[in-house]
């Protein structure tokens, strides 16, 4: 592994540790669990903007900066041998995957919460 990949792994590890240090206490405090399952009717956090959504927005901006930095470097003729290209490639790839996974989980939780509070609306007229 070259320098850019190693630095990217270190930065990614630090960022994941920071995100988990915010996420775990946040979910323990605001997610209502009964018999080991989430009670979506009592959990209100899915229906409003929360701290983790702010972290995700900041992460999205960071990912856009990484992708644009990679684009700039590749347009100027740099190759994968450049440590900055290696760094931006890893960062952009990892955080896009993390954000898509979080987005799917967030949408799923929000839909389950809406269903639990308002029921199924099958007969829309």
d(CA 2, CA 66): 18
pLDDT at residue 93, as a whole number: 92
Residue 60 included in any domain:
yes
Residue 30 included in any domain:
yes
pLDDT at residue 53, as a whole number: 86
Residue 125 included in any domain:
no
Domain enclosing residue 59, as ranges: 3-117
Residue 123 included in any domain:
no
Q: Mean pLDDT, to the nearest integer, of 88-102?
A: 91
Q: Which of 2-6, 56-60, 64-68, 119-123 has the lowest mean pLDDT?
A: 119-123
pLDDT digits (tens, 9 = 90+) for 103-123: 898 899 889 998 888 877 665
pLDDT at residue 102, as a whole number: 87
Residue 62 included in any domain:
yes
Residue 33 included in any domain:
yes
Tell me how many domains the chain contains. 1
In a 3-state reduction of DSSP, which class is residue 37? strand
d(CA 117, CA 43): 10
> Which residues are within 8 A (CB) of 90 and not within 5 positions of it... i.e. 6 or more apart?
4, 5, 8, 9, 12
Q: Mean pLDDT, to the nearest integer, of 68-93?
A: 94
Residue 44 included in any domain:
yes
Higher pLDDT among residues 76 and 1, named by residue = 76
Angle among Cα 69, 73, 79 to the nearest 5 degrees reads: 130
Contact 52, 122 (CB under 8 A): no
pLDDT value at 82 more than 60: yes
Helices 3-30 and 83-118, packing angle to 10 deg: 20
pLDDT digits (tens, 9 = 90+) for 13-62: 999 999 889 888 988 888 889 888 888 888 888 888 888 888 889 999 99
pLDDT at residue 50, as a whole number: 85
Residue 122 included in any domain:
no
Contact 4, 84 (CB under 8 A): yes
């Amino acid at each position: 592994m070259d320098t850019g990949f190693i630095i990217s792994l270190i930065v990614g590890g630090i960022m994941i540790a920071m995100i988990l240090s915010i996420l775990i206490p946040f979910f323990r405090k605001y997610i209502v669990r009964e018999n080991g399952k989430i009670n979506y009717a009592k959990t209100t956090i899915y229906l409003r903007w929360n701290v983790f959504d702010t972290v995700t927005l900041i992460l999205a901006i960071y990912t856009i900066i990484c992708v644009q930095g990679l684009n700039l470097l590749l347009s100027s003729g740099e190759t994968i041998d450049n440590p900055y290209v290696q760094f931006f490639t890893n960062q952009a790839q990892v955080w896009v995957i993390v954000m898509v996974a979080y987005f799917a989980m967030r949408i799923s939780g929000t839909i389950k919460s809406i269903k639990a509070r308002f029921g199924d609306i099958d007969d829309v007229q």
